[in-house]
Amino acid sequence: MNMNMKIHTKLLSAAALLAVACHQPQQPAASITATITGLKDSVIYLSIPVADSAKSDTVKVKDGQFTWTGKIEEPQKIYIMTSSRYIELFMENAAVTIKGNIDSVDQLQITGSASQDAYTAYQKSIEDLTAQRDTLYSKYQTVQGNDTAELALENQIEALRAQNRARSVAYVKAHPESPVSLSLVSDMATFGEYAPVDSVYQLLSPAARQTAVGKRIAARLAVIKKSAIGQPMIDFTQADVNGKPVRLSDFKGKYVLLDFWASWCGPCRAENPNVLKAYNKFKDKNFTVVGVSLDDKADKWKEAIAKDGMPWMQLSDLKGFRNEVAREYGIQAIPCSFLIDPQGIIIAKELRGAKLHTALAEILK
């Protein structure tokens, strides 16, 4: 073959490759075009969950308008953080438009995302429960201090949560591959008990369980299984307010409320007087409280203990949400509590408000 023929062959090969490349479908990119009235920020932050953390992009804003372009590996919930609000939406590689007012983020018009459309439809299907929930929550202030009324309200809210959960389970069963289903199961795993959450996780399709979100749920389940009701407590040692190491197993032989809280956590501080009331009522009946704080500043931690008048043992490694005990127990939100019996077995979780007093009164007869 002479040189001219070789060059001609190479040119034909290159042309063929170029033709193939031109005919291959282009992977669509993800984009957001937003116009949000009342948004005064000059930048917002867009967060996409990745593995055990998140990828965060800084996006410039002008007159409440911003655009973003990127890639979403799989349909999932992402978050837009402003200085005063955060917006969550389901996103895939599609062109999405957001319109609305920053003071009504729950009423934003989000179009262009099929998974967001599915989530909007799900939200619409539980509007009746959401309205009832909002009505019940608005009554909290009026029943404070009245144990009977408070317990009745909490029972109503608990019944409503059960209805909501039943609808979520039905949705997952009907849509086992949906990113909305994955999100619902993920939300259940934040606070939920291992066995019920695992049973819903098993309703997801094998393909859904193999997504990044599905794998995160599986990892979460492995953690909360260790601190499930009926499991032995996870023993640990952390320092008290004086820097002295204290072991949880030092309290074996007593009923212990292991209470995770922090000085910066408003709901925790609101619950502290209720825990104090329970402590004073039952401390002579083989009961105590051990607090684990997710603080990272010793002065703020100690100041809150003094201000809230908490006389029980308080421990912390001052690593904030990286507190090693909290990670072992799978804490993702506070306040959170575990009731441990004298043999060191976890017998109840998430006892707050009047429910705490009812449970202790039943156990410590």
Residues acting as catalytic residues: 268
- 39, 34, 56: which is closest to 110 by C-alpha? 34
Determine the Cα angle at 313 with ends 307 and 189, to 5°: 90
Give the DSSP letter string of 153-203: HHHHHHHHHHHHHHHHHHHHHH-TT-HHHHHHHHHHHHH--HHHHHHHHTT
| DSSP three-state, residue 317 | coil
The alpha carbon of 361 is separated from its chain's Cα centroid by a whole number of angstroms, namely 31
Strand, helix or coil for residue 287: strand
The size of the chain, in residues, is: 365
What secondary structure, in 3-state letters, does 45-68 show?
EEEEEECCEEEEEEEECECCEEEE
